[in-house]
């Protein structure tokens, strides 16, 4: 159970395989478990490092932090592990973190995959979706709200449901206070003015039916990154790797081989 202290916070991570480093950055409220499919595919060719962001998973829970804290944690983590250059894959919140890392240390990122990405947000995508459907969610608990919103977030609900049950076994559940701290970290960020600094060849993937970060958000990211390609998954929502796993594997493999 490897842990490391960076920027005064204890972070948990898991490591698989060998070769070029490949850092995986999870979404809001998640942890390294969400990448089971990606880990199994990538560990055959890469040194895969799945990091639990501060406030998430098995990493230290702190009462307040920002998106830039997540970014600086990844950079400090790379320094501590003597990783001079890496590939990175970020999903949802992880895609925001990955963008921040890529504009801060562009020469240290080789290839980058941004899944269900956006380049800016006034609030978290979850908070925005909850506000849009406030009447429908009245009187529901947080868990009940997310269940009710799932039809706006995912397309292949059966696949996502099976995946969620499988990975949820070992995932620590965040308290309401911890969830709120995680969401507040995603308030008022905008990487668009800085994305021209990215030198990494970049793949952006969004799902057509994603009510959190719809395809238009991913296309906007591609507009600002010099060497970026956009792929829309036509039968996915917010979890393309789960909803269309074979296509996801094919698209990612082709990108990394190119």
Rounded mean pLDDT of 150-176? Answer: 90
Q: Which of 69, 32, 31, 101 is nearest to 186 (CA)?
A: 69
> CA 256 to CA 258: how far, in whole Å?
6
Q: In the chain, how many domains are there? A: 1
CA distance 47 to 230: 25
| Inter-residue contact 57 to 31 (CB < 8 Å) | yes
Q: Which pLDDT value is given to residue 31?
A: 95
Place of tokens 């600002």: 224
The 10s digit of each residue's pLDDT in 60-87 is 999 999 999 999 999 999 999 999 999 9
Give the per-residue pLDDT at 166: 86
Residue-range definition of the domain harbouring residue 161: 3-257
Q: Give the pLDDT confidence score for residue 142 in this predicted structure.
A: 85
3-class secondary structure, 253: helix
Q: Residue 122: phi, psi to the nearest 5?
A: -80, -25
176 Cβ neighbours under 8 A, 6+ residues apart: 142
* CATH number of the domain where residue 185 is located: 3.40.50.1820
Q: Which two tokens stand for residue 99?
A: 């963008």
Q: State the Cα–Cα distance between residues 42 and 38, nearest whole angstrom.
A: 6
| Residue 12 CB neighbour total at 10 angstroms | 21
Residue pLDDT, tens place only, 1-50 = 699 999 999 999 999 999 999 999 999 999 999 999 999 999 999 999 99
């Amino acid at each position: 159970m490897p842990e490391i202290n960076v920027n005064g916070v204890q972070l948990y991570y898991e490591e698989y395989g060998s070769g070029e480093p490949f850092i995986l950055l999870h979404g809001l409220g998640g942890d390294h478990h969400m990448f089971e499919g990606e880990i199994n595919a990538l560990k055959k060719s890469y040194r895969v490092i799945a990091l639990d962001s501060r406030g998430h998973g098995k990493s230290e829970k702190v009462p307040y932090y920002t998106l830039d804290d997540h970014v600086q944690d990844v950079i400090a983590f790379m320094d501590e592990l003597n990783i001079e250059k890496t590939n990175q894959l970020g999903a949802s919140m992880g895609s925001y973190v990955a963008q921040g890392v890529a504009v801060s240390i562009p020469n240290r990122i080789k290839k980058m995959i941004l899944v269900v990405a956006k380049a800016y947000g006034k609030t978290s995508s979850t908070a925005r979706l909850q506000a849009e459907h406030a009447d429908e969610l009245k009187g529901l608990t947080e868990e009940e709200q997310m269940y009710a919103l799932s039809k706006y977030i995912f397309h292949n609900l059966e696949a996502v449901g099976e995946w969620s049950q499988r990975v949820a076994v070992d995932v620590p559940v965040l308290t309401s206070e911890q969830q709120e701290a995680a969401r507040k970290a995603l308030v008022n960020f905008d990487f668009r003015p800085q994305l021209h600094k990215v030198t990494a060849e970049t793949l952006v993937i969004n799902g057509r039916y994603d009510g959190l970060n719809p395809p238009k958000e991913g296309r906007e990211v591609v507009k600002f990154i010099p060497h970026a390609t956009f792929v829309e998954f036509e039968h996915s929502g917010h979890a393309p790797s789960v909803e269309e796993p074979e296509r996801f594997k094919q698209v990612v493999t082709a990108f990394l081989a190119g």
